[in-house]
Structures are given as structure tokens and as C-alpha cells.
Amino acid sequence: MQISLHQLRQGQQKRVTGRVQLDLQRDVPDLLHLEPMEVTAHLEKQDTHLFSVHVEQKTCATLTCSRCLTPFSLPLEAEWTELFTDVEYMARETDEQEIYFVEESLDLQPLIREVCLLQIPFAPVCDEHCQGICPKCGVNKNIDTCSCDLTRIDPRMAKLQDFFKGQD
């Protein structure tokens, strides 16, 4: 999504809408599918050589639940504003402020991508109450129940238990 600075320089505002297809599969292994991102960008001249872009982005991701391994969809919506300049000396990157340097046209795709990536949880869950799968028999505990005994015995303790049993 490339936006030319030409009209902005002359003080005209610009509203751009479009769809962006992001490829995030390599960064997010749990991602099964990502709908094209719906983007609305509003661009404005703030000052000589200073421009702002306000973006609303919306999509829907299909992820694998990290607990029960079932695919589920997660709507992803975000809104953000950034400043950019067309002269190098005004560009900066500090904790308080970031002004991107853009020569002739602004490419929104890397920024849209970054925001979207940050929205996808590291260990996605289909529901915060998801029961996951039984580590012993593999049953999805959201759908089914099992009677597996999951009390864990420390293997070192188990040896000690055997030892004491042998003493009787």
C-alpha cells in the first residue's frame, strides 16, 4: 500500500482504503489462515515536511488453540497514528516520538504488518476456560471427559516408595 506524498505536500488531505494481504505464516506457526486486511488510512499535512497517517485496520485470523489444538477464529482490529517526514534531518526515533523518513511515497504495509503481528497472542487459546486435551489419552476435554489419573509422582519419589515397600 504505497501512498505518494505529492498531494499531501500541497496541503491536501488524503483518505485511502484498500485490502492488504499479509503473509505472517512464517512468523506465527499457529496461524492457519488470515483474511485480507481491510485498511482505511487518513493522511494529513501537519507542518512543513511533517505529515501524519491515521490507520484503522481490520481482519480475522484462524489460529490453532495452544491448549486443545482446535482451530478458532480471532478478529483483529487496531487503530494507530504515525508521523512521517520527507526530509532526513527531521526523522527521529526516540522513546517518546518516532518520525519516519519517507522520500516520495509512504509504504504502509510494513507498519500494518507489525501492528497485526503484535496483536496475535504468543500462546493463543480458543477460550480462556479451554480445558485442553488430556496428556494421557488425548481426549479434548472441552467435548469429552476421561478418567485418566493424572496425579504426577516425581520419578525419584517413586523409587523411594519402591525402596520402602521392599523394606516391609
Q: What are phi and psi of 46, to 5 degrees?
A: -100, -35
Residue window 42-71: x/- pattern of binding to Zn ion, with contact defined by CB under 5 A: -----------------------x-xx---
Task: Tell me the closest approach of the beta carbon of residue 136 to Zn ion, in angstroms.
Answer: 4
Give the C-alpha separation, 1 to 112, whole Å: 10
Give the C-alpha separation, 97 to 51, whole Å: 14
Residue window 75-114: x/- pattern of binding to Zn ion, with contact defined by CB under 5 A: ----------------------------------------
**Which C-beta is closer to Zn ion: that of 118 or that of 148?**
148
Q: Is 33 in the site for Zn ion (CB under 5 A)?
A: no
Report the alpha-carbon angle 99-104-105, nearest 5: 75
**Which C-beta is closer to Zn ion: that of 26 or that of 129?**
129
Closest-CA residue to 140 (of 65, 45, 50): 65
Give the C-alpha separation, 37 to 76, whole Å: 9
Stretch that binds Zn ion, among 6-14, 47-55, 136-144, 153-161 (CB under 5 A): 136-144
Q: Strand, coil or helix: what is 89?
A: helix
Q: Is 130 in the site for Zn ion (CB under 5 A)?
A: yes
Residues near Zn ion (CB under 5 A) are 65, 67-68, 126, 130, 134, 136-137, 146, 148
